[in-house]
Amino acid sequence: MTTLPNTQGAPVDDHHAHDADGAHAHDAHGEHAKYKFLQHHFETPAHQFDSAKLGMWLFLATEVLFFGGLFVAYAVLRARFPEVFTYSSHYLNTLMGGVNTCVLILSSITMALAVRFAQTNKKNAMLICLVLTFMGAVGFMVIKYFEYSHKIHENLVWGKSFYVPPESEEGQAERMILEKPLPSAPAALLVVNPATDAVPTLVTTPVVEASAIKAASSAPKGLATARQEAKAEHLPVAEHDLALAHPTLHLADPKMPANSHMFFAIYYCMTGLHGIHVLAGMVMLGWLIWRGARGDFNSNYFTPVDVGGLYWHIVDLIWIFLFPLFYLIH
Amino acid sequence: MAHSNTPTLSHTRGDDSAHQHTHPLVGHLVPIWLFMAVGGTLLMLTVITVAVRYIDVGEFNIVIALGVAAIKATLVALFFMHLRWDRPFNLLVFLASIVFVILMMSFCMMDTAQYRSQQFVGNAPDVESTLQSNAPGAPVARFKPYTP
Amino acid sequence: MTTIDALQPATLASRPDNYLTHTRGFLSWALTLDHKRIGVMYLVGVLSGFFVGGIFALLLRTELLTPGMTIPGVTADVYNQLFTLHGAIMVFLVIIPSIPAALGNFVLPIMLGAKDVAFPRLNLCSLYLWIFGAGFLLLSLAKGGFDTGWTFYTPYSTTTSAGGVIPVLCGVFILGFSSIFTGMNFVVTVHKLRPPGMTWFRMPLFLWALYGTALIQVLATPVLAITLMLLVIERTVNIGIFDPSMGGDPVLFQHFFWFYSHPAVYIMILPAMGIISELISVHAHRHIFGYKFIALSSIAIAVFSFLVWGHHMFISGQSPLLNTLFSLISFSVAIPSAVKVFNWLTTLYKGNIALTTPMLYALSFLVLFTIGGLTGIHLATLNTDVHLHDTYFVVAHFHYVMMGSALIGMIGGLHHWWPKITGKMYSEKLGSTACVIIFIGFNVTFFTQFFLGAKGMPRRYYDYQPMYQTYHVISTIGAYIMASGFLLTAYCLISSMFGGRKAAANPWGGGSLEWQCASPPPYDNFATQPKVGDCYDFRALRWDEATQGYVTDPVLAAEAAKHPLH
């Protein structure tokens, strides 16, 4: 081994060791004294900054993959039920979605400006931009709140509630049937198997007969026919106001394709998860505003603002993809 | 182990203090006009993509919508997120994550496409009648439309 | 460092100052940012988890001694919970974090000659997330347990009335983030904290393996997170995404789940392979053969691991097209692993093999991994998999690779770095005896299960036909032998902490940087940046009888420097 023995490596925590490698150690020592934010295992501020950025990009990669799973679910569902997506997307308000997109883009601009102002020591401008970004996030969530409450009012929700509002009489009856416990097997079926030490086992005798299920081609209305029918008759665009006046308008529409609840299920999952990330971003922005007001950031050290900005931009980026996938389906 | 940051501006070399004020110690400074230009382009593209939604070009609608979204995403990533001036490995990390999402998506969609011809909505009539006769109380989701 | 005691006798008189003694008190450990302490705490957690998971394993193996109920009170439902808990604990709490978090956290920065990992606070956060995740798993036990199998397949997992399903899903979600943060930390550390002179191709192979593992952790684990989240949503509000009666697809769950879980098994095996590279070259005192091949094969395995997840789904309704594709790619994923095995064998050939405990574990790995890997090919072949899927053949295969390889690699690494971590040497006799007992017990337990599976015994079955009983009895006896081997290992290691001989800095003759600092290392690892050479070049080392360790001999070093190996 070509490594020389390290005779200076005393097992004591000694920052003031003068050693053969003095020049290198002194520079590092000097940098740490000059910049209090520099952690002990990094050589220079640039080293620390680069590492922080790489770490953040790795986290953003995990965010992309996290949402990516939902994008895959969307793709699979849309490939299986294209008519569902075409029909149900009319219940979304494209204008509100577009406004939300613009709000997020503006907040991205202000976030990028905040980073720049941190880099150039303009503390007040940086704080103003951070606050504007925060207001953008608030605006986004407010518009989202209106969208969601509107839809919930119209019973455009996920799962079985889509079909029968839970509060209605029929919903109650349905729920009673669904939640009723299965009938227990009659006692005659319980036999004791002597081979297993008198532990009762349930013995069923399956009836073996030829399958009576016909081939799929003779099945009732399938995907292909539903899609053709949807294309043949131009589906009405559910007007925003009209839907308000008639809750559960969708259920009264005979042209609603089966499995339409799937659209709303994936819609709430994806936009809901995105909304949670916006809320987390608001917490992060609040923390940055607090630290910024305290005077922590300047042209030497602005890493948290930069790295927080990256997070905010990825939230914007994900919305840039969510918007056409839900609101711009023709 | 990070010590709290103390601004070191007042301790820097005197004649460099003005320099210190406008140039960051690390990283790259992006001019403000570039942010505004990119932001403006993004807003314009949003308007365009919403407008296109109302024009019927058949199968191309989704292509155009996602294409515009991809352009917007590229602008955000390159300029707002600094990838244009950053180390290439950061870009590689980001692209790798997208590649893996596409990988998962393509395999799952291939699978779904393969057995789509065997799928139909609802139970086959014989399955339905078997259910009715043998297990009338079974909790099975129903799809009958709501009659007010 | 071995020369310290001679040069600075003053330190002998005072209390030795190392990372264990540097600060005292509960908070100094609970809020530590020292990667070594975090690694030790992880080790304690992971080994405790292994103990608990092992108890569940012994319970279920005992239950399988006879068809039907063996242990009074263990009904089929209870049995389902036993194997589910065994699987979930072993996979999520033990094997996935074991090498990266427990050993990697300790060794990686020191091997790099760095003072710490890139993000020490994130490291501590990882540890606490592991603890919270483990807590949620315990909570799920209190809430009624879960019996879905560690794979949580729908529709059973969405409809079962077991009360512990949602807590365990939350727990695994949290454990996933612990894994992600460790991965992020390691990628940045390897990229940014290498010392001057340590280019990528001068890194020890353990670090290549940890790097590949970290890449998988970062890219694969978020998909698990979203899968579990969708499962929780499905259970609570029933959106129907995996429910065919509502237009969903249960096979989609399997796609989602295995997209993570297959790379996850490579998270388990890849670092173990890295350890084996270290063990074999150091304990055979021979430069590793085919360094670049082994290093690049780690990355190849990491990439390939993402392309084969469908081989878990051959009979679940996946389309024939995808079946064929996945089967084909699964064959090719064996190639990088085989490259490694051949290189290790060549390293051993004409080496000066010392049959120390770590070397015995490495040799066990070679045998058990070969068997495990080859039986994987049985399962990758479509027509044989139709018969073998969900039988004990699969159980045997994955225990050979996950336990016989990954865990054995971890225990071997633990023995290899034990002197560094604790500063004590364990009894070689006890250690090697325990290794042999474990090897014998393991083969008795799991080789038998290949026969069980080929004869048709399904996995996860509580009851079985009497024709299988002999095999089950043999397997259970093997399990008890193995358990006693592990208990002996535990005794060997724990007793060394109290009565063991003081360890030298370099007891095995290793060439990587961690052997240049004292055992145990000082608080900040190295006071000055150590010089980087070829970490597999052992020619400059000389055995020093006084300290019972290897030291660098300047004469030999000069001689070796004249003829660099690479």
User: In the predicted model, is pLDDT for residue A245 greater than 70?
Assistant: no
For residues C215 and C193, give the distance between their C-alpha atoms in angstroms, rounded to a whole number.
Answer: 17
Q: What pLDDT was estimated at residue A34?
A: 85
Q: How far is C319 from chain B (nearest CA, A)?
A: 6
User: In the predicted model, is pLDDT for residue B125 greater than 80?
Assistant: no
For residues A31 and A39, give the distance between their C-alpha atoms in angstroms, rounded to a whole number.
Answer: 10
B148 prior amide bond cis, ω within 30: no
For residues C117 and C108, give the distance between their C-alpha atoms in angstroms, rounded to a whole number.
Answer: 8
Q: What pLDDT was estimated at residue B120?
A: 66
Residue B110 and residue B65 in one domain? no
- Please give the residue range of the domain that contains residue C516: 4-8+35-562
For residues C538 and C282, give the distance between their C-alpha atoms in angstroms, rounded to a whole number.
Answer: 8
Least confident range of A38-47, A247-256, C205-214, C497-506: A247-256
pLDDT tens digits for range A187-233: 444 444 444 333 333 333 333 434 444 333 333 333 333 334 444 44
Question: Is the Cβ–Cβ distance between C47 and C99 less than 8 Å?
Answer: no
Report CB contact under 8 Å: A300, B105.
no
pLDDT tens digits for range C442-494: 999 999 999 999 999 999 999 999 999 999 999 999 999 999 999 999 999 99
Q: For residue A23, what are the contacts with CB-CB under 8 A and spacing of at least 6? A: none
User: In the predicted model, is pLDDT for residue C174 greater than 60?
Assistant: yes
Q: How does DSSP classify residue B76?
A: I
Q: What pLDDT was estimated at residue A162?
A: 81
Q: State whether residue C237 sits within 8 Å of chain A by CB.
A: yes
Q: What pLDDT was estimated at residue A23?
A: 41
All residues of chain A having their beta carbon less than 8 Å from the beta carbon of residue C522 are: 10-13
All residues of chain B having their beta carbon less than 8 Å from the beta carbon of residue C219 are: 96-97, 100
C16 occurs within a structural domain: no
User: In the predicted model, is pLDDT for residue C311 greater than 50?
Assistant: yes
Rounded to 5 degrees, what are φ and ψ at B130? -60, -45
Q: What pLDDT was estimated at residue C526?
A: 83
On average, the pLDDT of chain B sits at: 78
CB-closest option in C247, C249, C259 to B104: C259
- Please give the residue range of the domain that contains residue B58: 29-86
**Domain A42-164+248-327 - what CATH class?**
mainly alpha
Q: How many independent structural domains does chain C possess?
A: 1
Question: Is the Cβ–Cβ distance between A327 and A89 less than 8 Å?
Answer: yes
For residues C256 and A94, give the distance between their C-alpha atoms in angstroms, rounded to a whole number.
Answer: 31
All residues of chain C having their beta carbon less than 8 Å from the beta carbon of residue A266 are: 241
According to DSSP, the β-strands at C424-425 and C501-502 are: antiparallel
pLDDT tens digits for range C278-303: 999 999 999 999 999 999 999 999 99
pLDDT tens digits for range B45-85: 999 999 888 877 777 788 889 999 999 999 999 999 999 99
All residues of chain C having their beta carbon less than 8 Å from the beta carbon of residue A304 are: none
3-state secondary structure of C502: strand
Structure tokens at C138: 């315990």
Question: Is the Cβ–Cβ distance between B75 and B82 less than 8 Å?
Answer: no
C13 occurs within a structural domain: no
3-state secondary structure of C59: helix
Cβ atoms < 10 Å from Cβ of C197: 13
Report CB contact under 8 Å: C184, A8.
no
For residues B86 and B89, give the distance between their C-alpha atoms in angstroms, rounded to a whole number.
Answer: 8
Q: Which chains touch A (3 or more CB pairs under 8 A)?
A: B, C
For residues C435 and C404, give the distance between their C-alpha atoms in angstroms, rounded to a whole number.
Answer: 12
- Mean pLDDT score, B129-136: 77
C281 occurs within a structural domain: yes
B82 occurs within a structural domain: yes
For residues A29 and C356, give the distance between their C-alpha atoms in angstroms, rounded to a whole number.
Answer: 42
C155 prior amide bond cis, ω within 30: yes
Which tops the pLDDT comparison, C366 or C14? C366
Q: State whether residue A75 sits within 8 Å of chain B by CB.
A: yes
Report CB contact under 8 Å: B100, C219.
yes
3-state secondary structure of A266: helix
Residue B78 and residue B44 in one domain? yes
Q: For residue C526, what are the contacts with CB-CB under 8 A and spacing of at least 6? A: A6, A9, C110, C113, C115, C513, C516, C517
Cβ atoms < 10 Å from Cβ of C187: 25
User: In the predicted model, is pLDDT for residue A79 greater than 50?
Assistant: yes
User: In the predicted model, is pLDDT for residue A4 greater than 80?
Assistant: no
Pick from C239-248, C354-363, C517-526 the range whose average pLDDT is largest.
Answer: C354-363
pLDDT tens digits for range C59-97: 999 999 999 899 999 999 999 999 999 999 999 999 999
Q: What pLDDT was estimated at residue A234?
A: 41
Residue B91 and residue B112 in one domain? yes
- Please report the DSSP string for C133-177 in residue order: HHHHHHHHHHTT---STTTT-TTHHHH---TTHHHHHHHHHHHHH
Q: What pLDDT was estimated at residue C308?
A: 95
Question: Is the Cβ–Cβ distance between C7 and A6 less than 8 Å?
Answer: no
Share of chain A above pLDDT 90, in %: 48
Q: What pLDDT was estimated at residue A178?
A: 53
B122 occurs within a structural domain: no
Report CB contact under 8 Å: A5, C227.
no
Q: B12, B55, B81: which to substitute to probe chain A, counting the most A Cβ within 10 Å?
A: B81
- Please report the DSSP string for A124-180 in residue order: HHHHHHHHHHHHHHHHHHHHHHHHHHHHHHTT--SGGGGTS-TTSHHHHHHHHHHHS
Residue B54 and residue B95 in one domain? no
Q: What pLDDT was estimated at residue A170?
A: 58
Report CB contact under 8 Å: A10, C252.
no
Q: What pLDDT was estimated at residue A169?
A: 60
Q: How far is B37 from chain C (nearest CA, A)?
A: 33
Residue B80 and residue B97 in one domain? no
Q: What pLDDT was estimated at residue A205?
A: 36
Nearest CA in chain A to C538: A1
Q: What pLDDT was estimated at residue C512?
A: 93
User: In the predicted model, is pLDDT for residue C170 greater than 70?
Assistant: yes
Cβ atoms < 10 Å from Cβ of C274: 29
pLDDT tens digits for range A144-160: 999 999 998 888 888 87
Q: How many independent structural domains does chain B possess?
A: 2
Residue for token pair 């579990």: C228
Report CB contact under 8 Å: A324, B9.
no
CB-closest option in B89, B96, B108 to C255: B108
Question: Is the Cβ–Cβ distance between C122 and A39 less than 8 Å?
Answer: no
- The domain spans of chain A are 42-164+248-327
pLDDT tens digits for range C240-273: 899 887 888 899 999 999 999 999 999 999 999 9
Q: What pLDDT was estimated at residue C264?
A: 96
Q: What pLDDT was estimated at residue B121?
A: 62
On average, the pLDDT of chain C sits at: 93
pLDDT tens digits for range C124-166: 999 999 999 999 998 998 998 899 999 999 889 988 888 889 9
Surface of C (465-484) touching A: CB under 8 A: 466
Question: Is the Cβ–Cβ distance between A61 and C217 less than 8 Å?
Answer: no
Q: How far is C526 from chain B (nearest CA, A)?
A: 17
3-state secondary structure of A191: strand
Least confident range of A77-86, A229-238, C159-168, C325-334: A229-238
pTM for this prediction? 0.86
Burial of C541: CB neighbours in 10 Å, binned 0-12, 13-18, 19+ = buried
Q: How far is C43 from chain B (nearest CA, A)?
A: 23
B94 occurs within a structural domain: yes
- pLDDT band, very low/low/confident/very high, at A248 (cuts 50, 70, 90): low
- Mean pLDDT score, A14-22: 39
CATH number at residue C71: 1.20.210.10
- pLDDT band, very low/low/confident/very high, at A125 (cuts 50, 70, 90): very high
User: In the predicted model, is pLDDT for residue C48 greater than 80?
Assistant: yes
For residues C388 and C209, give the distance between their C-alpha atoms in angstroms, rounded to a whole number.
Answer: 31
Q: What pLDDT was estimated at residue A165?
A: 66
Rounded to 5 degrees, what are φ and ψ at C539? -70, -25
Residue for token pair 């004294």: A33
Q: What pLDDT was estimated at residue C551?
A: 92
Handedness of CA A74, A77, A80, A85 (dihedral sign): negative
Question: Is the Cβ–Cβ distance between C538 and C509 less than 8 Å?
Answer: yes
Least confident range of A252-266, C225-239, C366-380, C445-459: A252-266
B57 occurs within a structural domain: yes
